[in-house]
Amino acid sequence: MTALEIAVERWPIAGHFTIARGSRTEAVVVVATVRAGAHAGRGECVPYARYGESVDSVKAQLDGLREAVAQGLTRDELTHLLPPGAARNAIDCALWDLEATAAGLPLPALAGVPTPAPMLTAYTLSLGTPEAMQAAARQAAERPLLKVKLGGEGDPERIAAVREGAPHARLIVDANESWRAENLRANLAACARAGVELVEQPLPAGGDEALARADAPVAICADESVHDAASLARLPAWYNAVNIKLDKTGGLTDALRLRREASARGLGIMVGCMVGTSLGMTPALIVAGGADYVDLDGPLLLARDRDGGLRYEGSTLIPPWA
């Protein structure tokens, strides 16, 4: 008999986590556990209001799968029952974990990919005043790669302050759709002056035509503008890279497909995450091997992680199969 268990967990964030859409002091995750005989698989997701999700809506989606799980739901069948998003991610990853556990295989072997090597992850600096962000950058200055959250008005001052606080770190930027056509060129120029390598989703998805005329001096990465492999076909030509997140693709199954198809198009690859625990990061490592940018620092932003979670040595993430 196969059964589904659903749990909501709250994990305190170290301090706070602020982006253009607001600030949080805890990460709320939904965990799906699929049990089959003596074996169990778990998957974690983070409901995201930007995509119309809430803890209650994700729980309702998962509850609706109980009968399908009891009848032996497969990953392929799942793609026809739920849309891409957090709920499907939790179940998809639980099914991968269950199959790997039952077969006695490490997850990379089951997925047919090389065992990921230790990898450098970005470390995220929350949005704040230039002074606060400079102080945060100074504290994190020894980390090789910083991801800087920006928020629109005042961003040139913010990114200049971060560069001053961390003069030797590589920088990537995430604007979370907060820029507008009228400040796009000035913000991109400020990023170029600071040596930023990549700007993630500067303009709102579907309202980003100004990028076609911007002659951007740095690479532009799509986040909200691409969710899964199906949406890749609609991605505007002015994006140079895509951010693959399991909570967007609906799990590891489609994330692997998106990675293959984006690479075939010559797009750069970032593998990112929501703020969550090591349970949510681990399956993303299967997609992250060899990526241009890895942004799987969720556990580093928490006050505490799960027992037996992923191992980080500074900003180096050590896969559990390495």
3-state secondary structure of 2: strand
Tell me whether residue 147 is one of the annotated catalytic residues: no
What stretches of the chain show up as alpha helix (H) in DSSP?
55-63, 66-70, 75-81, 86-103, 107-111, 130-139, 155-165, 181-193, 229-232, 246-249, 252-264, 278-281, 285-288
Task: Tell me the C-alpha distance between 36 and 51, whole Å.
Answer: 32
Tell me whether residue 59 is one of the annotated catalytic residues: no
Residue with tokens 């099914």: 95
Q: Which residues contact 274 (CB under 8 A, 6 or more apart)?
A: 27, 46, 48, 245, 247, 280, 298
| R_g of the chain computed on alpha carbons | 19
| Whether 180 contacts 172, CB under 8 Å | no
* Cα–Cα distance list, 220 to 86, 137, 141, 236, 280 (Å): 25, 22, 24, 11, 26
Show the CA angle centred on residue 79, arms to residues 37 and 66, nearest 5°.
40
Instruction: From the candidates 59, 147, 149, 248, give the one annotated as an active-site residue.
Output: 149
Instruction: From the candidates 59, 147, 245, 248, give the one annotated as an active-site residue.
Output: 245
Residue with tokens 């969720």: 298
| Whether 208 contacts 225, CB under 8 Å | yes
| Whether 220 contacts 211, CB under 8 Å | yes
Task: Tell me the C-alpha distance between 233 and 257, whole Å.
Answer: 13
Task: Tell me the C-alpha distance between 64 and 100, whole Å.
Answer: 25
Task: Tell me the C-alpha distance between 307 and 71, whole Å.
Answer: 32
Point out the residues that are catalytic.
149, 245
